[in-house]
Structure 1
Amino acid sequence: MPPPPPRSYGTLLLLAALALLVVASFASLPLQWSAFLAPEALGSAAEFLSGFAPPETSPAFLRKCAAALLETLAMSAVGTLLAAAGGLALALPAAGRLGAAMRPPARALLNVLRSIPELVWAALLLVAAGLGPFAGTLALAAHTTGVLGRLFADALENVEPLAEATLRTNGAAPLAAFLYATLPQALPQMLSYTLYRWENNIRAAAVLGVVGAGGLGQMLKYHLSLFQMQSAATVVIAMLLLVALVDALSFALRRALTR
């Protein structure tokens, strides 16, 4: 009989450390479940939610919501397209395609871009670009460039180098070998990453309106600040419909790419 595999004490220690971290997290947080589930709290929540019904359905307001919905969709689409272009441009040096010396600064720049949340980017860019969707679009593009650049760089590094090396051996130029051998292998995964980030940017674009970056989020903040709950309910429904539509479209496109 073959000898039993050696025990992995490192894995056991890691699981024990994670369990200890979870226990310590629950112990350190003031979780007041009794107050949260108290009859008074449930009654207050029910009373608050009842103010959202029925949603505002006047034709003029629905047209206003439709315009804000399209603005949110446009913000997410343009921001994602700009991020895909910027991410690919930074992924090349981050993956070592332009020399080993370019890899650390490109990785550091990508870390900075994705470490700053979209809301912070929007707050910074609103000072320069003013209120409206332009600042929100740039904020989405800045943060998503850092995310996609890192993912694109990892995809390029994980590509099997044999095909490109074969073309280089047969006399192909470095750029041609990259475009015809390496990029086609990584492109489906990169497109899948881009579509997934587009889904996330739909939600982020709706939230960015809270700081004045336009779209449905700005409408939601306006009506909530005036306690116009029925109008806010219509905006929330528009957000849900937009997210569901983009999720379904992105899922269909990803399935088509992976076939």
Structure 2
Amino acid sequence: MTTRPASPPPAPPRSWSTPLLLVGLLALVVASFATLQLELAAFLAPESLGTTLEFLSGFAPPDLAPAFLRKTLGAALETLSMSALGTLLAVVAGLLLALPASGRWGAPPRAAVRLLLNVLRSIPELVWAALLLVAAGLGPFAGTLALGAHTAGVLGRLFADALENAEPLPEAALRNNGAPALAAFFYATLPQTLPQMLSYTLYRWENNIRAAAVLGVVGAGGLGQMLKYHLSLFQMQSAATVVLAMLLLVALVDAASFALRRALTR
């Protein structure tokens, strides 16, 4: 007796959400190019290229006087200190805010703290620095606080998401066996999320190096303040040295952060 082969299951209904989303994104891109009035022909004109080359030639050669190099080194260390201390403050504040933002204390605190985190990270570092310069005055202190405020909003959100996505069974098992809530968190949940949190922290430290170099433009100290000063006086060779110091500092921090991430993942 022969059996008839089972008929294949019916095809799932066609979803039009993805094609509609792609069409909407394409329409936004086309509308952006249509409304921005980009003058690419004027940008690539021979006169514009000649003016650009003449401007860039003023940066060569960089100022390599020993006294100026020592001053640049001090500003680079100040920028590095601002980024490191701002990131450290953000890690502490972000971890404290991540606990209620992950829903561990209920829904109302979660919504309130996540709203606070949205406010902190939605304000750019430059705006934070401009606001804090009024209270803290010119110098690296305002820049450090600005980096800490913005980065706390970013890390707090990332830490909260990591805690929410952690496996809850190990902590529940410890709690069921009589472990205190704090001990269960430190021995079960935090070890799961710690490598991810450290990776987020190192990545934000890289970003804060670049941000700290820019914050000096509004008077927050470091290499950015030196760059603004020399550019305002049209001292292009000195400005070139500061720009090279920024590039070198970012490259060194990127390499150190990459090595630390590799060591943590191993």
Matched, 1:35 2:28: no
**Counterpart of 1:64?**
71
Q: 1:89 aligns with which of 82, 96, 100?
A: 96
Alignment of 1:179-218 (within 5 A): 179-218=186-225
Supply the distance in 1 between the matched residues of 2:183 and 2:59 (Cα, whole angstroms): 59
Q: 1:224 aligns with which of 222, 228, 231?
A: 231
Supply the distance in 2 between the matched residues of 1:24 and 1:223 (Cα, whole angstroms): 40
Supply the distance in 1 between the matched residues of 2:12 and 2:141 (Cα, whole angstroms): 59
**Counterpart of 2:135?**
128
Instruction: Give, in angstroms, the shift of residue 146 of structure 1.
Output: 0.4
Summarize deviations over 1:191-212 as a string: whole Å, max 9, x none.
Answer: 1000000000000000000000
Please list every run of 5 or more consecutive structure 1 residues that lacks an aligned counterpart in the other structure.
none
Instruction: Give, in angstroms, the shift of residue 169 of structure 1.
Output: 1.2
Supply the distance in 2 between the matched residues of 1:196 and 1:254 (Cα, whole angstroms): 9
Instruction: Give, in angstroms, the shift of residue 98 of structure 1.
Output: 2.4
Supply the distance in 2 between the matched residues of 1:5 and 1:62 (Cα, whole angstroms): 68
**Counterpart of 2:5?**
none
**Counterpart of 2:118?**
111
Instruction: Give, in angstroms, the shift of residue 8 of structure 1.
Output: 2.4
Supply the distance in 2 between the matched residues of 1:120 and 1:85 (Cα, whole angstroms): 22
Supply the distance in 2 between the matched residues of 1:40 and 1:27 (Cα, whole angstroms): 25
Letter in 2 for 1:77: A
**Counterpart of 2:174?**
167
Letter in 1 for 2:230: H
Instruction: Give, in angstroms, the shift of residue 5 of structure 1.
Output: 4.4
Instruction: Give, in angstroms, the shift of residue 100 of structure 1.
Output: 2.6
3-state SS, counterpart of residue 62 of structure 2 = coil
Matched, 1:54 2:40: no
Letter in 1 for 2:217: V
Summarize deviations over 1:134-170 as a string: whole Å, max 9, x none.
Answer: 0000000000000000000000000010111111111
Instruction: Give, in angstroms, the shift of residue 190 of structure 1.
Output: 0.5
3-state SS, counterpart of residue 44 of structure 1 = helix
- Taking structure 2 as the reference length, what is the TM-score of the superposition? 0.96
Matched, 1:244 2:251: yes
Shift >4 Å, 4+ stretches? 1-5
CA RMSD of aligned residues (A): 0.9
- Taking structure 1 as the reference length, what is the TM-score of the superposition? 0.98
Supply the distance in 1 between the matched residues of 2:54 and 2:222 (Cα, whole angstroms): 28
Report which of the two structures shows the higher radius of gyration computed on alpha carbons. 2
**Counterpart of 1:12?**
19
Please list every run of 5 or more consecutive structure 2 residues that lacks an aligned counterpart in the other structure.
1-7
Supply the distance in 2 between the matched residues of 1:6 and 1:105 (Cα, whole angstroms): 40
Supply the distance in 2 between the matched residues of 1:175 and 1:7 (Cα, whole angstroms): 49
Larger mean CA deviation between 167-176 and 69-78 belongs to 167-176
| Percent of aligned positions that are identical | 80
